[in-house]
Chains A and B, each alone.
Chain A
Amino acid sequence: QKEVEQDPGPLSVPEGAIVSLNCTYSNSAFQYFMWYRQYSRKGPELLMYTYSSGNKEDGRFTAQVDKSSKYISLFIRDSQPSDSATYLCAMSLNYGGSQGNLIFGKGTKLSVKP
């Protein structure tokens, strides 16, 4: 079993839809959870960063962490064509040293159609 599992998609939705992206993980010691967005032929950029359990909201984006289920989600409201990208989940044990190394999911490719 991989440490972090993420459905690769592709996922295609109409503009304005609510998008739900998810990752599951096996190591209950993970504490830091991130979502990166990667546009085609670009480097990943951080979208959301959450410590431990709970929700975090930033504009149209909401990140949820459920540590009891070892499950994290990213919701995109009112999706736009500019949201079309690959979304990578990532997590780490801690923020320092080798425990700060990120373990990435394989990414979900999202396409938002006008």
Chain B
Amino acid sequence: NAGVTQTPKFQVLKTGQSMTLQCAQDMNHNSMYWYRQDPGMGLRLIYYSASEGTTDKGEVPNGYNVSRLNKREFSLRLESAAPSQTSVYFCASRGLAGGEQFFGPGTRLTVL
């Protein structure tokens, strides 16, 4: 039981490049989330998916797109990366029974 996994762990991009961050969970959870974490800013919600087939914007969605591929997988895409998107990105999932969110190990992204 791996919980929430994220790939890649690290990535360096040049301004304007695109990339997709992958997230998968094996806990049969309905809800999945993408956060970014910046020094002094805490965790901020980018997008979430309350259930398979639905996605909604969070606090900081600009510059990102998401896809809920199936119940297990939720990807985050940067179409044209900007230095302001340099951050640590966390994926999380939550089941129906409670409020706890389980987090993945994170992806450290640097945009030059």
Q: Which residues of A contact B (CB under 8 A)?
A: 6, 8, 32, 34, 36, 41-46, 49, 88, 92, 95-98, 100-102, 104-107
Contacts and interface: CB of A to CB of B under 8 A. Distances in A.
Which 9 pairs, one residue from A and one from B, show the smallest C-beta to C-beta distance?
Answer: A43-B103, A106-B42, A95-B99, A104-B43, A32-B99, A44-B103, A104-B42, A46-B100, A43-B105
A88 B90 CA distance: 14
Interface in B72-109: 90, 94, 96, 98-106
Contact of B31 (A42, A45, A49, A100): A100
Interface of B: 4, 31, 33, 40-45, 48, 50, 56, 58, 90, 94, 96, 98-106
Given A43-B90, A98-B50, 9 more contacts: A43-B104, A44-B43, A46-B102, A97-B50, A98-B56, A100-B31, A104-B42, A105-B42, A107-B42
